[in-house]
């Protein structure tokens, strides 16, 4: 198998142990003689996986009593709508920090009154706004904690005077989180907690049921709580890989240990970007993401962008091209990205510098 350094933004690198164990389950799931993609989701063997996966979420994130963990389809994009339908009664407030936050706000505006509390669109979302006031008459305040396209991140749990909801698609399980500060946390799994195809929802049960509108059955969180995330057939394979990935997180020592190595990886790459005259980071330093490191060629070297991309590819770097809307480069350092890959990218940047001095 060809060895590469995978910096894809999602779907992305996953723990090798999780992949290998999932392969075995594709052959024979839990001794049933059937593949995991053949077995009934109503079987006791599959129910055990669902129960264990929810228990792992609760243990690793230290989720308090009163919260449910759901495994749904539709990606975070469907949650943009479901959040507003289930929580917006009079008004909602949103922090606009990137494309996905903007899309979430758009869906809320289609349901009712939704206001943008603050935005960093004025500088192409290269910073996290500060000094804003959260309106206390809103039903909830929605944030996107990490912005994959622009490489910015909210690094700490904020304190909100109203119910707080967060899209944590791309930084969940990268650091400890005080779940009690949120009424809901959601995200697509295809970064730190599994492959594409399943969406996680952590929701405070007593925060639901407060809107007067009719909620379509599939868009009502209570439906999925009452049916243990199996009102319809769940994405079994994606959930199985999530289960194996969470076990890996636990074996690594949990979120404090994961956070430490993630910071080491990010510091290593950011230090090279700041040192190397050929490159410059695009996010303000205080807002820099630990998960997605975005950078461009510095002034005087912009004509070398294609050359560096080709050089990086020759040296085994995969997925470092920036999002098509912004260009440049992006290295996503999710949990399963090994520090050796980051060292290899840094070495690649240093070699390129020497070749073009």
Closest to 233 in 3D by CA, of 72, 120, 85, 59 = 72
- Is-catalytic flag, 191? yes
Per the structure, the complete domain to which residue 129 belongs is given by 16-251
Domain end position, chosen among 251, 285, 300: 251
- Is-catalytic flag, 100? yes
**∠ CA(289), CA(294), CA(298), 5° rounding?**
135
- The answer to whether residues 259 and 222 belong to one domain is no
Q: Residue 56 maps to which CATH number? A: 3.40.640.10
- The answer to whether residues 99 and 40 belong to one domain is yes
- The answer to whether residues 109 and 180 belong to one domain is yes
pLDDT at residue 148 in the model = 96
pTM of the model: 0.97
pLDDT at residue 1 in the model = 62
- The answer to whether residues 221 and 261 belong to one domain is no
Active-site choice (46, 157, 191, 204) = 191
- The answer to whether residues 170 and 287 belong to one domain is no
- How far is Cα 241 from Cα 251, in angstroms, rounded to an integer? 15
- The answer to whether residues 245 and 309 belong to one domain is no
Domain end position, chosen among 200, 217, 251: 251
pLDDT at residue 140 in the model = 98
Closest to 95 in 3D by CA, of 52, 127, 61 = 127
- How far is Cα 256 from Cα 252, in angstroms, rounded to an integer? 10
DSSP state of 32: S
Q: Which residues of the chain have pLDDT under 50?
A: none
Domain end position, chosen among 226, 251, 276: 251
- The answer to whether residues 247 and 260 belong to one domain is no
Active-site choice (100, 247, 248, 321) = 100
Active-site choice (167, 204, 265, 321) = 167
SS3 content of the chain, % helix, strand, coil (to 5): 40, 15, 45
Q: In what order do the strands lie in the sheet with 113-119?
A: 67-72, 199-204, 184-188, 164-167, 141-144, 91-96, 113-119
**In total, how many domains does the chain have?**
2
3-state DSSP call for residue 317?
strand
pLDDT at residue 357 in the model = 78
- The answer to whether residues 225 and 288 belong to one domain is no
């Amino acid at each position: 198998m060809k060895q590469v350094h995978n910096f894809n933004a999602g779907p992305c690198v996953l723990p090798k142990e999780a992949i290998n164990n999932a392969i075995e389950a594709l052959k024979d799931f839990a001794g049933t003689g059937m593949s995991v993609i053949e077995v009934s989701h109503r079987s006791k063997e599959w129910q055990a996986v669902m129960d264990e996966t929810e228990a792992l979420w609760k243990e690793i994130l230290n989720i308090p009593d009163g919260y449910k963990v759901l495994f749904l389809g539709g990606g975070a994009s469907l949650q943009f709508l479901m959040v507003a339908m289930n929580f917006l009664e009079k008004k909602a407030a949103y922090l606009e920090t990137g494309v996905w936050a903007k899309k979430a706000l758009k869906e809320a505006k289609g349901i009712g009154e939704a206001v943008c509390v603050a935005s960093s669109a004025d500088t192409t979302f290269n910073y996290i706004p500060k000094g804003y006031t959260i309106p206390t008459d809103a039903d909830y305040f929605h944030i996107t904690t990490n912005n994959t396209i622009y490489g910015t991140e909210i690094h700490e749990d904020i304190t909100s005077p109203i119910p707080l909801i967060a899209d944590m698609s791309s930084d969940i399980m990268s650091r400890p989180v005080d779940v009690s500060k949120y009424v809901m946390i959601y995200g697509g799994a295809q970064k730190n907690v599994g492959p594409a195809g399943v969406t996680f929802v952590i929701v405070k049960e007593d925060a639901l049921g407060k809107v007067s509108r009719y909620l379509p059955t599939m868009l009502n969180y209570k439906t999925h709580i009452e049916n243990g995330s199996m009102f319809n057939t769940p994405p079994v394979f994606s959930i199985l890989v999530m289960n194996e990935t969470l076990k890996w997180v636990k074996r690594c020592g949990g979120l404090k240990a994961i956070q430490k190595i993630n910071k080491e990886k990010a510091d290593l790459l950011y230090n090279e970007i700041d040192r190397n005259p050929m490159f410059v980071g695009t996010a303000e330093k205080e807002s820099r993401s630990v998960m997605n490191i975005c950078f461009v060629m510095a002034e005087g070297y912009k004509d070398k962008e294609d050359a560096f991309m080709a050089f990086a590819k020759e040296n085994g770097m995969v997925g470092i091209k920036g999002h098509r809307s912004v260009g440049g480069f992006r290295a996503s350092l999710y949990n399963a990205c090994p520090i050796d890959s980051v060292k290899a990218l840094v070495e690649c940047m240093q070699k390129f510098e020497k070749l073009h001095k």
